[in-house]
């Protein structure tokens, strides 16, 4: 599995959305839109924003009628969301940076729901100490290929 580009399985996305406990009118953000695996599961009438660094993937998403901004989420300004639902690049340093940045831009009372590997989660331990959060292990029925190495992290602001 390529640690920086992969498609999040549909069952995993559904679980992430359940854990997000979305409220009507909340603005959602997928900061690493990729092939649209997460975006395609967003509730139809829920306002959202999407960012993708790869222009080719953006073109494909736009061809599917998905609104997406081309650029690097880590350097974009003026992005605000109530709920960030993401599968960041899973290399430890990038995953860590994406989760911290998502926390910084999410509104007060908002949530960050992120797929995270165990190494990134360990790196985040000290940062998470004073932040309400919970991690959920992915069962093999949700994602067989995860082999217990990935979890869903929910951080409340």
Strand pairing of 48-52 and 28-30?
A: parallel
Residue 17, CA distances (Å) to 3, 62, 93 in order: 22, 23, 25
The pTM of the whole model exceeds 0.75: yes
Q: What SS3 state is found at 55?
A: helix
Q: What angle do CA 108, 114, 120 make, to 5 degrees?
A: 110
Q: Is residue 114 part of a domain?
A: yes
- Nearest-CA neighbor of 32 among 6, 62, 1, 59? 6
* Domain annotation covers residue 1: no
Q: Count structural domains, the chain.
A: 1
pLDDT at 145: 63
What percentage of the chain exceeds 90 in pLDDT? 69
Q: In this structure, is residue 59 part of a structural domain?
A: yes
Is residue 119 one of the residues assigned to a domain? yes
DSSP per residue, 110-131: EEEEEEEEHHHHHHHHHHHTTS
| Domain range enclosing 44 | 10-156
Q: In this structure, what CATH number is given to the domain that contains residue 100?
A: 3.40.50.150
Summarised one tens digit per residue, pLDDT across range 17-63 is 999 999 999 999 999 999 999 999 999 889 999 999 999 999 999 99
CA dist., res. 118 & res. 44, Å (int): 32
């Amino acid at each position: 599995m390529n640690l920086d580009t992969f498609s999040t399985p549909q069952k995993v996305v559904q679980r992430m959305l359940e854990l997000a406990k979305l409220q009507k009118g909340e603005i959602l953000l997928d900061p690493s839109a990729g092939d649209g695996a997460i975006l395609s599961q967003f509730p139809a009438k829920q306002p959202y924003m999407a960012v993708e660094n790869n222009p080719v993937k953006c073109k494909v998403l736009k061809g599917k009628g998905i609104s997406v901004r081309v650029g690097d989420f880590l350097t974009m300004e003026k992005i605000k969301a109530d709920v960030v639902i993401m599968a960041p690049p899973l290399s430890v340093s990038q995953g860590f940076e994406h989760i911290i940045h998502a926390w910084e831009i999410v509104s007060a009372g908002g949530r960050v729901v992120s797929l995270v590997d165990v190494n990134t989660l360990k790196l985040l331990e000290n940062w998470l100490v004073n932040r309400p959060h919970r991690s959920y292990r992915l069962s093999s029925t949700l994602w067989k290929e995860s082999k217990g190495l990935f979890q869903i992290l929910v951080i409340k602001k």
